[in-house]
Protein backbone atom coordinates (compact mmCIF):
# COMPACT_ATOMS: atom_id res chain seq x y z
CA UNK A 1 0.00 0.00 0.00
CA UNK A 2 2.86 2.43 0.74
CA UNK A 3 3.91 3.19 -2.80
CA UNK A 4 2.45 6.66 -3.10
CA UNK A 5 5.86 8.32 -3.19
CA UNK A 6 6.88 6.27 -6.22
CA UNK A 7 5.71 6.64 -9.80
CA UNK A 8 3.73 3.52 -10.67
CA UNK A 9 2.37 4.84 -13.98
CA UNK A 10 4.31 3.57 -17.02
CA UNK A 11 2.03 5.04 -19.70
CA UNK A 12 -0.68 7.65 -20.08
CA UNK A 13 -4.00 7.46 -21.92
CA UNK A 14 -4.77 10.65 -23.81
CA UNK A 15 -8.37 11.70 -24.37
CA UNK A 16 -9.69 12.64 -27.79
CA UNK A 17 -11.25 15.85 -28.95
CA UNK A 18 -14.71 14.31 -29.42
CA UNK A 19 -16.24 10.90 -28.64
CA UNK A 20 -17.93 10.39 -32.02
CA UNK A 21 -15.59 8.31 -34.28
CA UNK A 22 -17.04 9.80 -37.46
CA UNK A 23 -16.24 13.32 -36.23
CA UNK A 24 -12.76 12.17 -35.25
CA UNK A 25 -12.04 11.20 -38.87
CA UNK A 26 -13.37 14.55 -40.06
CA UNK A 27 -11.18 16.43 -37.59
CA UNK A 28 -8.25 14.22 -38.59
CA UNK A 29 -8.54 15.38 -42.21
CA UNK A 30 -8.90 19.04 -41.15
CA UNK A 31 -5.91 18.98 -38.81
CA UNK A 32 -3.80 16.95 -41.22
CA UNK A 33 -4.40 19.59 -43.90
CA UNK A 34 -3.59 22.37 -41.41
CA UNK A 35 -0.39 20.62 -40.32
CA UNK A 36 0.76 20.15 -43.92
CA UNK A 37 0.06 23.82 -44.64
CA UNK A 38 2.01 24.73 -41.48
CA UNK A 39 5.02 22.71 -42.63
CA UNK A 40 4.79 24.06 -46.18
CA UNK A 41 4.39 27.69 -45.07
CA UNK A 42 7.15 27.72 -42.46
CA UNK A 43 9.66 25.65 -44.45
CA UNK A 44 8.97 27.87 -47.47
CA UNK A 45 9.59 30.95 -45.32
CA UNK A 46 12.90 29.52 -44.05
CA UNK A 47 13.96 28.58 -47.59
CA UNK A 48 12.94 31.97 -48.97
CA UNK A 49 14.90 33.87 -46.32
CA UNK A 50 18.00 31.70 -46.78
CA UNK A 51 17.93 31.94 -50.59
CA UNK A 52 16.89 35.56 -51.18
CA UNK A 53 19.49 38.33 -51.06
CA UNK A 54 16.66 40.84 -50.42
CA UNK A 55 15.89 39.28 -47.04
CA UNK A 56 19.28 39.61 -45.38
CA UNK A 57 18.46 42.10 -42.64
CA UNK A 58 18.13 41.11 -38.95
CA UNK A 59 14.32 41.02 -38.93
CA UNK A 60 14.25 38.14 -41.41
CA UNK A 61 17.03 36.32 -39.55
CA UNK A 62 14.80 36.30 -36.47
CA UNK A 63 11.76 35.44 -38.58
CA UNK A 64 13.64 32.43 -39.95
CA UNK A 65 14.16 31.13 -36.41
CA UNK A 66 10.53 31.91 -35.54
CA UNK A 67 9.43 29.69 -38.43
CA UNK A 68 11.87 26.99 -37.29
CA UNK A 69 10.42 26.99 -33.76
CA UNK A 70 6.89 26.89 -35.23
CA UNK A 71 7.78 23.77 -37.23
CA UNK A 72 9.41 22.14 -34.21
CA UNK A 73 6.76 22.66 -31.55
CA UNK A 74 3.95 21.93 -33.99
CA UNK A 75 5.68 18.67 -34.99
CA UNK A 76 6.14 17.68 -31.34
CA UNK A 77 2.37 17.85 -30.76
CA UNK A 78 0.31 17.59 -33.95
CA UNK A 79 1.40 14.14 -35.27
CA UNK A 80 0.46 12.58 -31.91
CA UNK A 81 -2.91 14.34 -31.96
CA UNK A 82 -3.50 13.05 -35.50
CA UNK A 83 -2.60 9.48 -34.54
CA UNK A 84 -4.90 9.67 -31.51
CA UNK A 85 -7.80 10.79 -33.68
CA UNK A 86 -7.73 7.52 -35.63
CA UNK A 87 -6.35 5.22 -32.93
CA UNK A 88 -8.45 2.89 -30.82
CA UNK A 89 -5.98 3.08 -27.93
CA UNK A 90 -4.66 6.59 -27.45
CA UNK A 91 -1.61 5.85 -25.36
CA UNK A 92 1.78 7.48 -24.80
CA UNK A 93 4.60 6.06 -22.67
CA UNK A 94 5.74 7.81 -19.49
CA UNK A 95 9.10 8.64 -21.13
CA UNK A 96 7.35 9.74 -24.34
CA UNK A 97 5.08 12.04 -22.35
CA UNK A 98 8.04 13.61 -20.56
CA UNK A 99 9.90 14.05 -23.87
CA UNK A 100 6.84 15.60 -25.51
CA UNK A 101 6.43 18.11 -22.68
CA UNK A 102 10.16 18.88 -22.64
CA UNK A 103 10.47 19.68 -26.36
CA UNK A 104 7.13 21.47 -26.48
CA UNK A 105 8.16 23.74 -23.57
CA UNK A 106 11.61 24.21 -25.15
CA UNK A 107 10.35 25.54 -28.48
CA UNK A 108 7.39 27.47 -27.06
CA UNK A 109 9.78 29.15 -24.60
CA UNK A 110 12.23 29.89 -27.43
CA UNK A 111 9.39 31.37 -29.49
CA UNK A 112 8.35 33.57 -26.57
CA UNK A 113 11.87 35.01 -26.35
CA UNK A 114 12.18 35.29 -30.15
CA UNK A 115 8.97 37.34 -30.34
CA UNK A 116 10.43 39.59 -27.63
CA UNK A 117 13.73 39.93 -29.51
CA UNK A 118 11.83 40.83 -32.67
CA UNK A 119 10.06 43.64 -30.79
CA UNK A 120 13.45 45.07 -29.81
CA UNK A 121 14.60 44.71 -33.43
CA UNK A 122 11.59 46.74 -34.64
CA UNK A 123 12.30 49.36 -31.97
CA UNK A 124 15.87 49.84 -33.21
CA UNK A 125 14.77 49.84 -36.87
CA UNK A 126 12.16 52.58 -36.40
CA UNK A 127 13.71 54.68 -33.63
CA UNK A 128 17.34 54.49 -34.84
CA UNK A 129 17.13 53.76 -38.59
CA UNK A 130 20.56 55.21 -39.42
CA UNK A 131 22.25 53.10 -36.74
CA UNK A 132 20.13 49.98 -37.32
CA UNK A 133 22.73 47.93 -39.21
CA UNK A 134 25.48 48.89 -36.77
CA UNK A 135 23.45 48.17 -33.61
CA UNK A 136 21.90 44.93 -34.88
CA UNK A 137 25.23 43.45 -35.92
CA UNK A 138 25.58 39.80 -36.89
CA UNK A 139 27.28 39.10 -33.57
CA UNK A 140 24.36 40.59 -31.62
CA UNK A 141 21.84 38.68 -33.75
CA UNK A 142 23.55 35.38 -32.95
CA UNK A 143 23.74 36.24 -29.25
CA UNK A 144 20.04 37.16 -29.09
CA UNK A 145 18.96 33.97 -30.86
CA UNK A 146 21.29 31.94 -28.62
CA UNK A 147 19.73 33.58 -25.56
CA UNK A 148 16.24 32.77 -26.88
CA UNK A 149 17.01 29.06 -27.26
CA UNK A 150 18.92 28.99 -23.95
CA UNK A 151 15.97 30.62 -22.19
CA UNK A 152 13.61 28.08 -23.74
CA UNK A 153 15.89 25.23 -22.63
CA UNK A 154 16.13 26.45 -19.04
CA UNK A 155 12.37 26.96 -18.67
CA UNK A 156 11.75 23.56 -20.30
CA UNK A 157 14.06 21.78 -17.86
CA UNK A 158 12.41 23.49 -14.89
CA UNK A 159 8.83 22.82 -16.03
CA UNK A 160 9.51 19.19 -16.98
CA UNK A 161 11.42 18.38 -13.80
CA UNK A 162 8.78 20.05 -11.59
CA UNK A 163 6.03 18.06 -13.30
CA UNK A 164 7.66 14.63 -13.48
CA UNK A 165 9.20 14.65 -10.03
CA UNK A 166 5.63 14.12 -8.79
CA UNK A 167 4.04 10.72 -8.28
CA UNK A 168 1.35 9.45 -10.63
CA UNK A 169 -0.35 6.53 -8.95
CA UNK A 170 -4.08 7.28 -8.94
CA UNK A 171 -4.94 7.40 -12.63
CA UNK A 172 -3.12 7.43 -15.93
CA UNK A 173 -5.83 9.11 -18.02
CA UNK A 174 -4.73 12.55 -19.20
CA UNK A 175 -7.89 14.43 -20.08
CA UNK A 176 -6.14 16.38 -22.79
CA UNK A 177 -4.93 16.03 -26.38
CA UNK A 178 -1.25 15.87 -25.44
CA UNK A 179 1.02 15.90 -22.36
CA UNK A 180 0.68 19.37 -20.90
CA UNK A 181 1.34 20.67 -17.41
CA UNK A 182 -2.19 21.47 -16.08
CA UNK A 183 -3.80 18.05 -16.85
CA UNK A 184 -0.72 16.17 -15.62
CA UNK A 185 -0.73 18.01 -12.29
CA UNK A 186 -4.36 17.00 -11.80
CA UNK A 187 -3.32 13.33 -11.99
CA UNK A 188 -0.68 13.48 -9.29
CA UNK A 189 -1.35 11.71 -6.00
CA UNK A 190 1.13 13.93 -4.16
CA UNK A 191 0.80 17.55 -3.10
CA UNK A 192 1.30 19.73 -6.18
CA UNK A 193 0.91 23.13 -4.52
CA UNK A 194 4.64 23.91 -4.45
CA UNK A 195 5.13 22.79 -8.06
CA UNK A 196 2.11 24.82 -9.14
CA UNK A 197 3.32 27.89 -7.27
CA UNK A 198 6.86 27.64 -8.60
CA UNK A 199 5.81 27.12 -12.23
CA UNK A 200 3.16 29.84 -11.97
CA UNK A 201 5.74 32.30 -10.63
CA UNK A 202 8.28 31.29 -13.30
CA UNK A 203 5.74 31.70 -16.11
CA UNK A 204 4.50 34.99 -14.65
CA UNK A 205 8.02 36.44 -14.26
CA UNK A 206 9.16 35.40 -17.75
CA UNK A 207 5.86 36.46 -19.30
CA UNK A 208 5.94 39.82 -17.51
CA UNK A 209 9.60 40.37 -18.47
CA UNK A 210 8.87 39.63 -22.15
CA UNK A 211 5.71 41.72 -22.23
CA UNK A 212 7.48 44.59 -20.49
CA UNK A 213 10.20 44.67 -23.14
CA UNK A 214 7.56 44.46 -25.89
CA UNK A 215 5.45 47.24 -24.35
CA UNK A 216 8.47 49.53 -23.85
CA UNK A 217 9.62 48.84 -27.41
CA UNK A 218 6.21 49.57 -28.90
CA UNK A 219 5.72 52.60 -26.66
CA UNK A 220 8.86 54.11 -28.17
CA UNK A 221 7.86 52.95 -31.66
CA UNK A 222 4.46 54.65 -31.43
CA UNK A 223 6.06 57.80 -30.05
CA UNK A 224 8.53 57.88 -32.98
CA UNK A 225 5.80 57.19 -35.55
CA UNK A 226 3.62 60.04 -34.22
CA UNK A 227 6.54 62.44 -34.71
CA UNK A 228 6.64 61.69 -38.45
CA UNK A 229 4.94 64.58 -40.24
CA UNK A 230 3.65 62.88 -43.40
CA UNK A 231 0.79 60.38 -43.20
CA UNK A 232 2.48 58.20 -45.82
CA UNK A 233 5.62 58.08 -43.68
CA UNK A 234 3.64 57.13 -40.58
CA UNK A 235 1.79 54.41 -42.50
CA UNK A 236 5.01 53.00 -43.92
CA UNK A 237 6.69 52.97 -40.50
CA UNK A 238 3.72 51.26 -38.86
CA UNK A 239 3.49 48.66 -41.64
CA UNK A 240 7.01 47.45 -40.80
CA UNK A 241 5.89 46.30 -37.33
CA UNK A 242 2.16 45.56 -37.81
CA UNK A 243 2.79 41.89 -38.67
CA UNK A 244 4.89 41.37 -35.57
CA UNK A 245 2.33 43.16 -33.40
CA UNK A 246 -0.40 40.80 -34.62
CA UNK A 247 1.81 37.77 -33.85
CA UNK A 248 2.46 39.15 -30.34
CA UNK A 249 -1.28 39.48 -29.66
CA UNK A 250 -2.04 35.96 -30.87
CA UNK A 251 0.90 34.29 -29.12
CA UNK A 252 0.82 36.00 -25.74
CA UNK A 253 -2.97 36.17 -25.61
CA UNK A 254 -3.36 32.39 -25.78
CA UNK A 255 -0.23 31.68 -23.67
CA UNK A 256 -1.47 33.88 -20.82
CA UNK A 257 -4.92 32.28 -20.94
CA UNK A 258 -3.52 28.73 -20.85
CA UNK A 259 -0.62 29.00 -18.41
CA UNK A 260 -0.70 32.13 -16.27
CA UNK A 261 -3.73 31.25 -14.16
CA UNK A 262 -4.33 28.80 -11.28
CA UNK A 263 -4.68 25.10 -12.20
CA UNK A 264 -8.02 24.92 -10.34
CA UNK A 265 -9.59 27.42 -12.75
CA UNK A 266 -8.85 25.32 -15.85
CA UNK A 267 -11.82 23.98 -17.83
CA UNK A 268 -11.02 20.73 -19.66
CA UNK A 269 -12.94 21.40 -22.86
CA UNK A 270 -11.94 25.06 -23.02
CA UNK A 271 -8.29 24.12 -22.54
CA UNK A 272 -8.53 21.60 -25.37
CA UNK A 273 -9.89 24.18 -27.80
CA UNK A 274 -7.37 26.86 -26.77
CA UNK A 275 -4.53 24.34 -26.93
CA UNK A 276 -5.51 23.38 -30.47
CA UNK A 277 -5.44 27.04 -31.44
CA UNK A 278 -2.08 27.41 -29.70
CA UNK A 279 -0.41 24.33 -31.21
CA UNK A 280 -2.10 24.01 -34.61
CA UNK A 281 -3.48 27.37 -35.71
CA UNK A 282 -0.79 29.86 -34.60
CA UNK A 283 2.13 28.04 -36.33
CA UNK A 284 -0.01 28.01 -39.47
CA UNK A 285 -0.90 31.71 -39.24
CA UNK A 286 2.59 33.12 -38.58
CA UNK A 287 4.04 32.62 -42.10
CA UNK A 288 0.74 33.74 -43.65
CA UNK A 289 0.74 36.95 -41.59
CA UNK A 290 4.33 37.78 -42.51
CA UNK A 291 3.96 36.86 -46.18
CA UNK A 292 0.65 38.64 -46.84
CA UNK A 293 1.51 41.82 -44.90
CA UNK A 294 5.14 42.16 -45.97
CA UNK A 295 5.98 43.64 -49.38
CA UNK A 296 9.62 42.48 -49.25
CA UNK A 297 8.64 38.86 -48.61
CA UNK A 298 6.13 38.90 -51.47
CA UNK A 299 8.65 40.58 -53.77
CA UNK A 300 11.39 38.06 -52.90
CA UNK A 301 8.97 35.18 -53.45
CA UNK A 302 7.90 36.49 -56.87
CA UNK A 303 11.53 37.10 -57.80
CA UNK A 304 12.55 33.52 -56.98
CA UNK A 305 9.48 32.10 -58.72
CA UNK A 306 10.16 34.13 -61.86
CA UNK A 307 13.79 32.99 -61.92
CA UNK A 308 12.69 29.37 -61.51
CA UNK A 309 10.10 29.77 -64.26
CA UNK A 310 12.45 31.35 -66.80
CA UNK A 311 15.28 28.92 -66.04
**Across residues 207-221, what is the average pLDDT?**
89
Determine the pLDDT at residue 229. 80
**Across residues 127-140, what is the average pLDDT?**
91
Q: Does residue 7 carry a pLDDT above 60?
A: no
Residue bearing the bigger pLDDT, 217 or 251: 217
* 149-193 tens-digit pLDDT: 999 999 999 989 888 888 887 678 888 888 888 888 888 887 778
Q: Does residue 306 carry a pLDDT above 70?
A: no
Global pTM value: 0.86
Contact 14, 84 (CB under 8 A): yes
Q: Does residue 45 carry a pLDDT above 80?
A: yes
CB < 8 Å & 24+ apart, contacts of 182-187: 182/258, 182/259, 182/263, 182/266, 182/271, 183/268, 183/271, 184/97, 184/101, 185/263, 186/263, 187/9
Domains of the chain: 11-310 (1.20.1070.10)
Determine the pLDDT at residue 5. 42
Cα–Cα distance, 196 to 254 (Å, whole number): 19
Cα–Cα distance, 115 to 244 (Å, whole number): 8
Determine the pLDDT at residue 2. 38
**Across residues 111-119, what is the average pLDDT?**
92
Determine the pLDDT at residue 139. 94
Residue bearing the bigger pLDDT, 252 or 283: 283
Q: What is the Cα 255 distance to its own chain's centre?
A: 9
Cα–Cα distance, 115 to 92 (Å, whole number): 31
Determine the pLDDT at residue 237. 74
Report the chain's terminal Cα–Cα distance, integer Å. Answer: 74
Cα–Cα distance, 286 to 45 (Å, whole number): 10
Amino acid sequence: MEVRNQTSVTEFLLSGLVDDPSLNYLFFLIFLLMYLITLLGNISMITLICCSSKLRNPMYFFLCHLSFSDVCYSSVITPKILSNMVSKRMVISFQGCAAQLFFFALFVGAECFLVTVMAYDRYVAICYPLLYVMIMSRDLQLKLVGMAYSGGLITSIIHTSCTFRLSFCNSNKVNHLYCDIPPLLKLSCTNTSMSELFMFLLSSILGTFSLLIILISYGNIISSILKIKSSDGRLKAFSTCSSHLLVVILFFGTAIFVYIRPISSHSIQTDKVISLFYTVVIPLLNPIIYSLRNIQVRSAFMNIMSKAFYS
